Amino acid sequence: MNKPRISAWILPVGILALLLTGCAAQPAAAPQPAAPSAVVETPTPQHTAVVETPTPQPSAVVETPTPQPSAVATQQPTATEPPERLGEDGPDGSAEPSLELSQTVTFTATLKLDNGFFTNNPPPLVLRRGPADHFQVTGQVQPDQAVMLLGRNETGSKVLVRLADGPDGAVGAEGWTWGHVLTADKNEISQLPVLEPPAELYDEEKIARIEISGALDPDGRYAAYLTDVIRQIQAADKDGSAPIPNTAAELMNDPGYAQWAAVFEASIGYPAASLVEQLQIEDWLYPTYGPEYTGPLRIVVYISEDEQGLIGWDWHGYLPDYTPVINIPRHYLDRALAGDVRMQDVIKTGLLKEMIAAQVGRIAGQADPQGHYSTMQAGERSSLFAEAVFMRQMKYPPELVEFYYRVAGVGYIHQVAKTGEIKP
């Protein structure tokens, strides 16, 4: 399959002026950028351990387990309310419960300082909430500190460890790290129970996976701004103040769905329902971590050839490989950072739309790998429709909402839009 073309979404300045005007006339109509706030998520990880029958070692303190060849030991919260764990707080500051293995094999270890890993990564050693770099940091291990080994991943390359409690009674931090950088040997690590990593990512961990192009952003201003905008969109979706219509139920229940679907099918030749019904993931940030995506979501800041510019989406690779990309003109970001409220809203709604396009585009491309219809048009029009639904829900100016419903059906004509001849 040939590499797909860039699907570009234009929000012309002439049209956007209506957005600003509408916001001024109806203050509650359009969402205004809010001060960055922490994303609230309080998942309670449940480590599931597959216990292998331990072979007692002279250096190990072993609790005699009841032989269960096929048993699965699950970490359960302690009966009493656990103390706050240092470094394991969720994004909202709430402490995760302390967990105890029902069957344990306990070893202790320190940092193996002569390992080549520490040549480029000097101590302290970072611990994370899960066995991958996108999990948040939960603590650090100093060169002179001992850790208790609690479990491992399937291969033994990563281990879950816990620091000793502090002299002031603070519970030691717990987290995952590389097994080979500790003094524990392979035999000891192999006796540890196999633990499943946390099933859910915090929103901050999802956002941290986004790669924001730094070639035009040496001081990181654009990356910091875009990260804050993404936080605001996700938080507003979760608390219900600005819900994102990115699932089949939300789109198909919209009053304009039937008319949009008819135009979509007539112009593209693909049943709209067959595409929309596959949108079952509520999480707007799914393209940052979904297993169907073979690379992290990328946001590319580029220099536009004219002052119009485009916020658009694309992808890299050939199906089934799919790495989504969102492109944003640099001058859009400059204006937003200078306090242009209209451009701030353009960037917010643009990111909202293109993240949905990243989901729809993948589904459309995989549903039609032979390219019998335009994957680009399918993703573009579906995400435009979602944006129109969002604008209607948020009570944007009626003429602007009507305009987006219309272009979602018939497609955006770039040449006419650039000349300003299309007006709502």
How does pLDDT run across 70-118, given as a tens digit for each residue? 333 333 333 333 333 333 345 544 444 444 444 456 799 999 999 999 9
- Residue 293: its pLDDT value, please? 82
pLDDT exceeds cutoff 90 at 181: yes
Asked if 368 and 270 count as a contact pair (C-beta separation under 8 A), the reply is yes
Q: Looking at the structure, tell me whether residues 150 and 268 fall in a common domain.
A: no
Of 304, 408, 318, nearest in space to 365 by CA: 318
Q: In terms of pLDDT, which residue wins out, 8 or 364?
A: 364
Q: Which range among 314-323, 349-358, 364-373 shows the weakest confidence by mean pLDDT?
A: 364-373
Give the Å distances, CA to CA, from 96 to 29, 86, 100, 382.
38, 10, 13, 39
Confidence of residue 410 (pLDDT cuts 50, 70, 90): low
pLDDT tier, 265 (very low <50, low <70, confident <90, very high otherwise): confident
Specify the range with the lowest mean pLDDT, choosing from 75-89, 209-223, 395-409. 75-89
* pLDDT reading at 301 higher than 50: yes
Residue 2 domain flag? no
383 in a domain, yes or no? yes
Contact (CB, 8 A) for 345 and 30? yes
Do 304 and 175 belong to one domain? no
Residue 287 lies inside a defined structural domain of this protein: yes
Query: pLDDT per residue over 347-360, tens digit each?
Result: 998 999 999 988 88
Average of per-residue pLDDT values in the chain: 74
SS3 assignment for the chain = CCCCCCEEECCCHHHHHHHHHHHHHCCCCCCCCCCCCCCCCCCCCCCEEECCCCCCCCCCEECCCCCCCCCEEECEECCCCCCCECCCCCCCCCCCCCEECCCCEEEEECECCCCCHHHHCCCCEEEECCCCCCCCEEEEECCCCCEEEEEECCCCCEEEEEECCCCCCCECCEEEEEHHHECCCHHHHHCCCEECCCCCCCHHHHHHCCEECCCCCCCCHHHHHHHHHHHHHHHHHHHCCCCCCCCHHHHHCCCCHHHHHHHHHHHHCCCHHHHHCCCCCCCCCHHHCCCCCCCCCEEEEECCCCCCCCEEEEEECCCCCCEEEEEEEHHHHHHHHCCCHHHHHHHHHHHHHHHHHHHHHHHHHHHCCCCCCCHHHHHHHHHHHHHHHHHHHCCCCHHHHHHHHHHHHHCCCHHHHHHCCCCC
Looking at residue 324, what is its pLDDT?
87
In this structure, are 188 and 301 located in the same domain? no
User: Domain limits at 55?
Assistant: 48-195
d(CA 99, CA 101) in angstroms, rounded, equals 7
- Residue 11 confidence (pLDDT) above 80: no
Q: What is the pLDDT of residue 64?
A: 43
> β-pairing, 158-163 with 137-141?
unpaired
Q: How confident is the model at residue 369 (pLDDT cuts 50, 70, 90)?
A: low
In a domain, 253, yes or no: yes
What mean pLDDT do residues 313-335 have?
83
* In a shared domain, residues 57 and 186: yes
Q: Is residue 325 part of a domain?
A: yes
pLDDT at 227 over 90: yes
Using a pLDDT cut of 70, give the percent of the chain over it: 68
Q: Report pTM.
A: 0.61
β-bridge mates for residue 111, sequence order: 182
Q: Which of 99-108, 204-213, 292-301 has the lowest mean pLDDT?
A: 99-108
Query: CA–CA distance from 85 to each of 106, 140, 240, 277 (Å)?
Result: 20, 13, 31, 42
pLDDT at 411: 52
Residues 288 and 403 in one domain: yes
Q: Which pLDDT score, from 0 to 100, does residue 231 have?
A: 95
Which of 195, 218, 242 is the C-terminal boundary of a domain?
A: 195
**d(Cα 388, Cα 385) in Å, to the nearest integer?**
5
Domain boundary among 195, 217, 240: 195
Q: Which residue has the higher pLDDT, 421 or 122?
A: 122
* Whether residue 370 is found in the same domain as residue 235: yes
Contacts of 146 (CB under 8 A, 6+ apart): 108, 109, 110, 164
Residue 17 clears pLDDT 60, i.e. is over it? no
Q: Is the pLDDT assigned to residue 200 strictly greater than 90?
A: no
Q: Is 60 exceeded by the pLDDT of residue 12?
A: no
CA dihedral sign, ordered 36, 38, 40, 44:
positive
* 157 inside domain: yes
pLDDT at 424 over 50: no
Dihedral sign, CA of 212, 214, 216, 217? positive
pLDDT value of position 24: 29
With respect to residue 1, please indicate whether it lies within any of the assigned structural domains: no
Structure tokens at 62: 């072993």
What is d(CA 237, CA 251) in angstroms, rounded to the nearest whole number?
Answer: 15
Both 27 and 92 in one domain: the answer is: no
State the pLDDT at residue 184.
Answer: 93
pLDDT classification of 3: cutoffs 50, 70, 90? very low
CA distance 39 to 28: 23
Last residue of a domain, one of 136, 162, 195: 195
Same structural domain, 259 and 376: yes
Q: Give yes or no: residues 227 and 321 share one domain.
A: yes
The answer to whether position 97 is within a domain reads yes
Taking residues 333-353, report their average pLDDT: 93
CA–CA distance, 206 with 195 (Å, rounded to integer): 22
Whole-number pLDDT of residue 153: 93
Query: How many independent structural domains does the chain possess?
Result: 2
35 with 80, same domain: the answer is no
Whether residue 311 sits in one domain with residue 191: no
The lowest-confidence range among 53-62, 153-162, 187-196 is 53-62
Q: Over 70: is that where the pLDDT of 9 sits?
A: no
Average pLDDT over residues 279-299: 86
- Does the structure show a pLDDT above 50 at 130? yes
Residues 30 and 89 in one domain: no
State the pLDDT at residue 268: 78
pLDDT at 382: 87
